[in-house]
Amino acid sequence: MSELPKDVVSVKQTLLRDPPDKLSDIAKKLMEGTPELASMWETLEKHEDGSDDLWVWAFLQAASNSKDLPAFHFKKDKERKELSEEITSLAKRLAMKLEVNGLDAHLFHNNGKMFNGFFLYEDFGETNRESIDNDGIEKLKISELLISFATRTREIIKNEPMPGKIGKNADAIRFARSISKRNIFLYDKSLNNVVAAATNALFGTNYRGGDISNLLNR
């Protein structure tokens, strides 16, 4: 067994004391003391400037997010386009129904002692609504929120899925591409050996750094 960096050991011990944490399953597989995984963590540590273990938590969270991708990631281009169009159409139809029938409302956030959280402006009495107006609290129409959310969803569906051919080991390949994209954003490097080690540990593959490079370019 190889020695893991002290920050990794610290996080591992924390998760062992609190096993229900959603990252526990990921951590168990990524924090084994194998030479490949020890090297992976050492490489990540060299690219971090922090004096705490947040970088370890961040990588575990990224691995968790990349392993359990949303369902739309696995749809074909045509299916994703149809999904985007359907969501946009439904949002517009609902927004119009609310407006035309006088059912639209305004969402706002309040930090008061009695009312703390998100509320609908129209659900309050006249005196409270006047107080809200006087406090200059911003309000958002539900119809506008629906359209805004549909726009956001359309951009996510369009931009998030990993490009390139998938084929065999689709889940592992999507994971590898996602972690590589994350590494490039943070470190300006894919860190192919890191990606290979994490992918192998979570999916039982046998990738090497060169294999990851090929996956990213095909």
Residue, of 18 and 163, whose pLDDT is higher: 18
Q: What is the rounded CA–CA span in Å between residue 15 and residue 18?
A: 5
User: What value does the mean pLDDT take over residues 83-111?
Assistant: 95
This prediction has a pTM of: 0.69
Question: Which DSSP string corresponds to 190-213?
Answer: --HHHHHHHHHHHH-----HHHHH
152: nearest Cα among 87, 78, 218 = 87
Residue 108 pairs in a beta bridge with 119
User: What value does the mean pLDDT take over residues 10-39?
Assistant: 87
Examine the pLDDT at 58 and tell me if it is beyond 90.
yes
Tokens standing for 34? 């194998």
Examine the pLDDT at 1 and tell me if it is beyond 70.
no
Q: What is the rounded CA–CA span in Å between residue 91 and residue 150?
A: 6
77: nearest Cα among 66, 85, 87 = 85
Q: What is the rounded CA–CA span in Å between residue 98 and residue 94?
A: 6
Tokens 């370019």, residue? 217
Q: What is the rounded CA–CA span in Å between residue 144 and residue 62?
A: 32
Q: What is the rounded CA–CA span in Å between residue 3 and residue 74?
A: 37
Examine the pLDDT at 114 and tell me if it is beyond 90.
no
Torsion angle, alpha carbons of 37, 38, 40, 41, to 10: 120
185: nearest Cα among 80, 54, 72, 58 = 58
pLDDT tens column, 122-166: 999 999 999 999 989 999 999 999 999 999 999 998 876 666 556
